[in-house]
Amino acid sequence: NAGVTQTPKFQVLKTGQSMTLQCAQDMNHNSMYWYRQDPGMGLRLIYYSASEGTTDKGEVPNGYNVSRLNKREFSLRLESAAPSQTSVYFCASIPRGIVYNEQFFGPGTRLTVL
Amino acid sequence: KNEVEQSPQNLTAQEGEFITINCSYSVGISALHWLQQHPGGGIVSLFMLSSGKKKHGRLIATINIQEKHSSLHITASHPRDSAVYICAVLSSNTGKLIFGQGTTLQVKP
């Protein structure tokens, strides 16, 4: 049971490049989330998926797209990276929609956009 | 005003001291989390509370639903407790987690 895994752990992009951050969980959870963490701003929700096949915007969705490929996997895509997207990205997984016991975070992806 | 406020933002303590971190929130909640993040590290869930008090080792978390306030206490603090502690509430209205800004704790030997 690996919990929540994220790849890559580190990435450097040039402005305008695209990339996909991968997230997978093996806990059979329904809900999955993508957050970004910036100094002094705490964790902000980018997108979330309450269940397989559904996705919804969070607090800061602009510049991102997501895909809930199946119950296990939830990817975050930057189509044209910008320096403002330099951040640490965390994927999280929750057992049920709004009633749950624990939240699990992935190890994070540290992204730098030059 | 943020919906979840933590205090203090930064805290320095000597090893062995009793530490309290506070979290106040202004929304209706289903649950409240305390999370820990070590420098450069991932985020670990410490507690999930919907009422009362929980204890794990030297960590104690309490919540007062009426006052919309929670505290995280660390007894006999140790340098390895140095981390960012984050309070997050699950909004009963939207079903989303709302995070506090975090409290950076440094425990000196």
**Contact state of B86 with A100 under an 8 Å Cβ cutoff:** no
Two tokens, residue B96: 């989303």
Residues ≥6 apart with Cβ < 8 Å to A88? A36, A37, A38, A108, A109, A110, A111
pLDDT of A43 over the 90 cut? no
Mean per-residue pLDDT for A50-65? 91
Phi, psi of A83 (to 5 degrees): -55, -30
Query: pLDDT by residue (tens digit) across B29-68?
Result: 988 989 998 887 788 888 888 889 999 899 999 999 999 9
A96 — pLDDT class (breaks 50, 70, 90): low
Task: Tell me the one-letter amino acid at B33.
Answer: H
Q: Which of A28-37, A66-75, B56-65 has the lowest mean pLDDT?
A: A28-37
Residues ≥6 apart with Cβ < 8 Å to A54? A68
A103: chain B residues, CB-CB within 8 Å = 33, 45, 48, 88, 97
Q: Which of A9-23, A37-51, A90-104, B62-76 has the lowest mean pLDDT?
A: A90-104
Question: Is A59 buried (19+), middle (13-18) or exposed (0-12) by CB count in 10 A?
Answer: middle
Task: Tell me the one-letter amino acid at A19.
Answer: M
Mean per-residue pLDDT for A44-59? 89
